[in-house]
A = this chain, B = another copy of it.
Amino acid sequence: MTTLNVQPSPVRLQAVVAPGQPEPTPALDALYRGFERELLVPLWTEIGDLMPAAPRSKAVPHLWRWDRLVDLAGQAGRIVPVGRGGERRAIALANPALGGKPYATPTLWAAIQYLMPGEDAPEHRHSQHAFRFVVEGEGVWTVVNGDPVRMSRGDFLPQAGGNWHAHHNAATEPMAWIDGLDIPFSYYTESQFFEAGRMHIDASEMTTPERSRSERLWGHPGLRPLSQPEAPVATPLLAYRWVDTDRALADQLALEAEGHAGATLGNGHAAVRFTNPSNGRDVLPTLRTEMHRVRAGASTRVRREVGSSVYQVFDGTGQITVGEHQWRVSRGDLFVVPSWQRFSAHADGGGALDLFRFGDAPIFEALHTFREEVEPA
């Protein structure tokens, strides 16, 4: 039985001369030593940092170049095996302001995953929500609860928490894609569970159907299978194919060009959100995922939101502005937009700029703390 902590206190308080601070005196010093002994920290020394007028992101805007990621992932493919324990050959973006942790933002994990020909990533399941997005390549299957799901360029594959999943590269070439998860949020809130499954998928799961069973059940617009009466909190549809996403974006821009301005978000900026067909909400309870298309030569409006995002350039070239940062970007490049920082994108004249985005907005919407500001065009 323990009674009270007798270790050296982790609390360190220093009386300072500053506006809003009590005057440094021996009495104040004695008080602060008492606080340290009892593991107490006053609000008045912390409030400036803890309760700012508006969100001050710890993460900073940053860009990762796709070619460098692929190069390093390829090196890892040659020397780092995939197997139980390490589980995945996934390499995560580490925001330069988050102390070397594998966090793109305080809440989001973003990684490149890489699988050599014939390799398996072993089956596991976890409470963290995940997805894959494929900027290039072909030939990998994700097997979700026994349902093999093909992965091709432009496909978005959500992976709700709690589902068994493994990956298999059935092709003759390595393949890379990105993984997004809510690992940092789950870790911070101490709410995560993990379980290991089979080392290898069955032979029958290595076949290559064009459409997964989930797509055959749930992938028809506005049509719900009566055999599935419940609305699952995370999407039962395991693949959102590029052919559909591309067409939806093209339709919006065509409608805008025909004079129906309300079809897009503004002049030349089309966007779709990936949603759970059983309830129309975000595919995953903690992650919002979208595809944006900015028409050649067009710009998005400047926007800032509570919560952070990671973007990957799917196609085209253009210029991105996040807070004080600006980058020229092209296919595969990844960048982060921290909370409450202004974001805009401009597409070069040669063609549309397609941006895949994921973020943590559903957390704030669920808790009624989401806020956004959009500047006039």
Chain B residues with CB under 8 Å of A91's CB are 35, 40-43
B51 x A126 contact (CB < 8 A): yes
Given known contacts A39-B94, A85-B19, A280-B280, A262 and B227 CB-to-CB distance under 8 angstroms: yes
Closest to A95 in B: B39
User: Which A44-59 residues have C-beta < 8 A from chain B?
Assistant: 44, 46-47, 50-58
- Say yes or no for A76: interface residue by CB 8 A criterion: yes
Q: How far is the CA of A339 from the CA of B187 in the complex (A)?
A: 11
B52 x A194 contact (CB < 8 A): yes
Chain B residues with CB under 8 Å of A190's CB are 55-58, 106, 306-308, 338-340
Closest to A39 in B: B94
- Say yes or no for A2: interface residue by CB 8 A criterion: yes
- Say yes or no for A172: interface residue by CB 8 A criterion: no
A43 x B102 contact (CB < 8 A): yes
User: Which A206-226 residues have C-beta < 8 A from chain B?
Assistant: 213, 216-226
B128 x A68 contact (CB < 8 A): no
Q: How far is the CA of A83 from the CA of B186 in the complex (A)?
A: 37
- Say yes or no for A367: interface residue by CB 8 A criterion: yes
Q: How far is the CA of A127 from the CA of B367 in the complex (A)?
A: 11
User: Which A284-324 residues have C-beta < 8 A from chain B?
Assistant: 285-286, 290, 306-308, 324
- The stretch among A132-140, A163-171, A244-252, A347-355 that forms the contact with chain B is A244-252
Q: How far is the CA of A244 from the CA of B216 in the complex (A)?
A: 11
B22 x A80 contact (CB < 8 A): yes
Assembly of this chain: how many copies?
A: 4
A107 x B189 contact (CB < 8 A): yes
A217 x B20 contact (CB < 8 A): no
A306 x B191 contact (CB < 8 A): yes
Query: How many chain-A residues does the 8 Å CB contact rule pick out?
Result: 156
A255 x B217 contact (CB < 8 A): yes
Q: How far is the CA of A84 from the CA of B44 in the complex (A)?
A: 10
Tell me, rounded to whole Å, the shortest Cβ–Cβ distance linking A116 to chain B: 14
Given known contacts A42-B92, A92-B43, A189-B107, A223 and B252 CB-to-CB distance under 8 angstroms: no
- Say yes or no for A198: interface residue by CB 8 A criterion: no
- Say yes or no for A31: interface residue by CB 8 A criterion: yes
Closest to A124 in B: B51
Q: Which one of A19, A31, A326 has the highest number of Cβ atoms from chain B below 10 Å of its Cβ?
A: A31
Q: Is chain A's binding surface mostly helix, strand, loop or mixed?
A: loop
Closest to A57 in B: B190
User: Which A69-87 residues have C-beta < 8 A from chain B?
Assistant: 69, 72, 75-76, 78-81, 83-87
Given known contacts A27-B79, A280-B279, A285-B367, A85 and B41 CB-to-CB distance under 8 angstroms: no
Chain B residues with CB under 8 Å of A161's CB are 369
Q: Which one of A12, A187, A227 has the highest number of Cβ atoms from chain B below 10 Å of its Cβ?
A: A227
Pick the contact of A285 from B11, B92, B193, B368 — CB < 8 Å?
Answer: B368
Chain B residues with CB under 8 Å of A274's CB are 222-223
B338 x A76 contact (CB < 8 A): no
- Say yes or no for A96: interface residue by CB 8 A criterion: yes
Tell me, rounded to whole Å, the shortest Cβ–Cβ distance linking A308 to chain B: 7
B195 x A53 contact (CB < 8 A): yes
Pick the contact of A87 from B44, B99, B255 — CB < 8 Å?
Answer: B44
Tell me, rounded to whole Å, the shortest Cβ–Cβ distance linking A36 to chain B: 9
A213-B255, A222-B283 given; name 20 further pairs at CB < 8 Å. Answer: A7-B96, A10-B94, A20-B86, A31-B75, A35-B91, A40-B93, A41-B91, A42-B102, A43-B90, A54-B192, A54-B194, A190-B339, A190-B340, A191-B371, A193-B371, A216-B252, A217-B251, A220-B272, A222-B237, A224-B280
